[in-house]
Amino acid sequence: MRGSALRKARLAKLLAQRQTQQQFRTSAWHQAVPRTESAQASSSGGVLSWFLGERSTTPVPALYEPLQGVHLPPALPEDIKPSDTKVTTLANGLRIASENVPGPTATVAIHIDSGSKNETPFCTGASHLLERMAFKSTVNRSHFRLIREVEAIGANLMSTSAQEQMCYSADAIKTFLPEMVEILVDSVRNPLFNEWEVQEQLAKLKAETAGIMSHPHSAIMEALHSAGFVGGLGQPLTAPESSLRRLNGGVLHDFVKENYTAPRIVLAASGVEHEDLLSLAEPLLADLPSVNEPIPVETQYVGGDWRQSVDSSLTHVAIAFEVPGGWRNEKDSCAVTVLQSLLGGGASFSAGGPGKGMFSRLYTRVLNRREQVHSCTAFNSIYRDTGLVGIHATSSGDYIPYLVDIMCQEINQVATPGEVTEAELHRAKNSAISSTLMNLESRVVITEDIGSQILTYGQRKPVAKFIQRIQAVTLEDIAEVSRKIISSPLTMASWGDVVQVPRYDAVAERFEM
């Protein structure tokens, strides 16, 4: 008993000492930092008091209530309309188009109705080489001087070549619009094609071409075009090694002279005033030669089969069909856009939500159920008058026969009325619309869209019209356009252990209506 009383006395003494020390620290802090009314108010509430279970003596407004003394700027009116695309056609047929997008920077691009489809057997690969030769030496400046001028204004230059178009673009602060326009026009109109620069780029092209077979996706897409089309779109986009020895500065000069003519050129820009762009560009482009419309390049879809045997642990296979009418058939092209979102797909490892296609048919019905499938994705490549749509999938060689069977089933099912649900269609349409709107938040994409649409339709159609077309797609439209595309000849391409890939005629029989 005595020992217990002694322990209690010691414990009481220790607690008294700690309380005295705490009071001393508190009074010393108050002497150093005098408390104000605001400090008292803040100390009586807040997150710490909430954790300690104390009640606040000052009322805290709800998050949806305005704060006293805080004045917010007026909200934007609801009737704001997007900027219109203004287009001016010069006397020689060249078109200048722009949209004034808010922001401190601007993008300017020259789009040319010329690509690999315009090449002849004597200049195959010219478009690919022209992409490499962009922004090299011109009549007015050396390559070194051009790079210095671009660095001085902090601009970003880019060139791309495709089956139907060439594009030269520049992106910089708006105040450097005159410099961007002048550099672009000089690079397109006055290239020197110095032989030593051409040979340097040819050597790089040779190395790039030699390594294309190590990139199966690029090889598959190139093969689908060469096997599926005869004529313009069947021409290789990547310069084949066999044609490199025929390419030189003279061939490039002739190709540019024949194809870079005023009626086939659009100068597009976003983030600039149209009048400013017109005043800068017209003196530089008004004297560009105007010639008659070129002879249309004939392209015929025939279907076909391409196989490349490669020692690889994975085998790639693609099945594709024609999109008749291309972008100029707006109803079918919009339905095909929704169809691609509906099929969707991706890789076996994919992070993200619905935007990554994880609720699409190929993901839920193929990738989630079959661990042997490494990837399965729907794709489309639509051009002005035709196009391709299909599925590209990857697995080990021994599973390829089953994978091809699955791909055929998925394509046939979307062509069968009643197989696609209204919820799937609604999700696919929302995905297609959101993807388009998010892409159009970029000035570069806006500029590309302006140039491409004017070369295709002769005008830029508002995005609201595209959204209306997408929203109008019905389940019947999906089934109808699916039946229409599988009624065209089959195109197949495979890479890897192609011995395991089923015969072309056996696969084609699966789609006979």
For the chain, which residues make up each domain, given as ranges?
Answer: 82-284, 302-509
Distance CA 102, CA 272 (A): 9
pLDDT at 356: 54
Query: 82-284 and 302-509 share one CATH topology?
Result: yes
> With pLDDT > 70 as the criterion, what percentage of the chain qualifies?
85
Residue 304 carries which side chain, given as an amino acid letter?
G
Query: 314, 319, 413: which is closest to 373 by C-alpha?
Result: 314
What average pLDDT score do residues 193-212 get? 90
Place of tokens 């602060």: 173
What is the spatial distance between Cα 137 and Cα 132, in angstroms, rounded to a whole number? 12
Give me Rg for the CA atoms of the chain. Answer: 32
CA dihedral (35, 38, 43, 47) positive or negative:
negative
Phi, psi (5° rounding) for residue 191? -70, 145
Alpha carbon 216 to chain centroid, angstroms: 20
Rounded Cα gap, residues 125 and 117, in angstroms = 10
Architecture of domain 302-509: 2-Layer Sandwich (3.30)
pLDDT at position 36 is 44
Q: Which residues of 148-165 are buried (b: 16+ CB within 10 A; e: fewer)?
A: eebeebebebebbbbbbb
Interval 84-129: pLDDT, tens: 899 999 999 999 999 999 889 999 999 999 999 999 989 999 999 9
What percent of the chain is predicted at pLDDT more than 90? 72
Q: Kindly indicate the confidence band of residue 3, based on its pLDDT and cuts at 50, 70 and 90.
A: low
Ramachandran area for residue 447 (φ above 0: left; ψ -120 to 50: alpha; else beta): alpha
Average confidence score pLDDT of the chain: 88
- Specify the pairing of strand 345-347 against strand 229-231: unpaired
The DSSP output letter for 353 is S
Of 24-28, 308-312, 445-449, minimum mean pLDDT range:
24-28
pLDDT in tens, 473-489: 999 999 999 999 999 99
Residues 245 and 10: their CA atoms lie apart, in Å, by 100
For residue 80, the model assigns a pLDDT of: 67
Which helix or strand (DSSP H or E) is residue 170 part of? strand 166-173
State the first-to-last Cα distance of the chain, in angstroms, to the nearest integer: 101
- Give this prediction's pTM: 0.82
Residues 6 or more apart whose CB falls under 8 angstroms from that of 259 comprise 112, 113, 114, 118, 294
Q: Is the pLDDT score of 24 beyond 60?
A: no
Q: Are 394 and 314 in contact (CB under 8 A)?
A: yes
Closest CA to 493 of 226, 108, 292: 226
Q: How far apart are CA 67 and CA 316, in angstroms?
A: 60
* Architecture category of domain 82-284 in CATH: 2-Layer Sandwich (3.30)
pLDDT at 57: 60
Cα distance between residue 314 and residue 374, in whole Å? 9
pLDDT band at 346 (very low <50, low <70, confident <90, very high): confident
Res. 67 pLDDT band, cuts 50 70 90: confident
